[in-house]
Amino acid sequence: MVSKISMIEDKLKSMGYKLTSQRRLVIEIFEESPYHFTAQEIFDRVKEKSSNINFSTIYRNLELLCKLNIICKLNISSGISHFELMDTEHHHHHLICLNCGDMEKVDICPYNQLNKSKLEELGFVPTEHKFEIYGYCKNCSPNK
């Protein structure tokens, strides 16, 4: 079985980029814990492994990996971006708690129910979409 890092390295090479040691460290964070992280959280975890790395290096690499569709950037209403490794096998969206900020993946997708012929009629060609539902998790629900 081919590892995710090997697949990402191949993808980077096919686009003219290398899997630098900094990029490898960022990818490893997501491999160790498949979760959503802020840039600061990623930096803190990488810093534990390599003390000679700075925040701007991490952020530049996150932005590049997002541009290359290796990492997904979630722009949530709090204004703090979260990042996750793209999951090409399982399409998902997110439930985001307005109180505690907890995010949960959900495999529902309203785009699938969208009248795609309407998009064709408008001459619109979608390349990606994002869907987030904001509310309160079971721990923060006012109805608890």
One domain, residues 139 and 110: yes
pLDDT greater at residue 37 or residue 79:
37
Q: Answer whether 46's CB lies under 8 Å from 58's CB.
A: yes
Query: Do 14 and 54 fall within a single domain?
Result: yes
When mean pLDDT is compared across 1-15, 39-53, 101-115, the lowest value belongs to 101-115
| Tokens 């498949």 -> residue | 34
Predicted confidence at residue 112, as pLDDT, reads 66
| Same domain (yes/no): 65, 120 | no
Q: What share of the chain is helix, strand, coil (3-state, %, to 5)?
A: 40, 15, 40
Whether the model pTM is above 0.75? no
* Percent of the chain's residues with pLDDT above 90: 29
pLDDT tens-place string over residues 60-96:
999 999 999 888 888 766 677 888 887 656 667 778 7
Shared domain check, 80 and 14: yes
- Please give the residue range of the domain that contains residue 125: 90-144
| Average pLDDT of span 12-29 | 92
Q: Are residues 6 and 66 in the same domain?
A: yes
Across 121-127, average pLDDT: 82
Computed over every residue of the chain, the mean pLDDT equals: 83
Domain final residue pick, 89, 110, 128: 89
Which letter does DSSP use for residue 101 in this model? Answer: -
Do 51 and 108 sit in the same domain of this protein?
Answer: no
Dihedral sign (CA 131, 136, 137, 138): negative
Looking up residue 73, the CATH number of its domain turns out to be 1.10.10.10
Number of domains in the chain: 2
Each residue of 104-123: pLDDT tens digit?
877 777 776 666 777 778 88
7/30 same-domain check: yes
Mean pLDDT confidence for 17-38: 88
Clarify whether residues 33 and 79 are in a common domain.
Answer: yes
Q: Could you tell me the CATH number of the domain that includes residue 133?
A: 3.30.1490.190
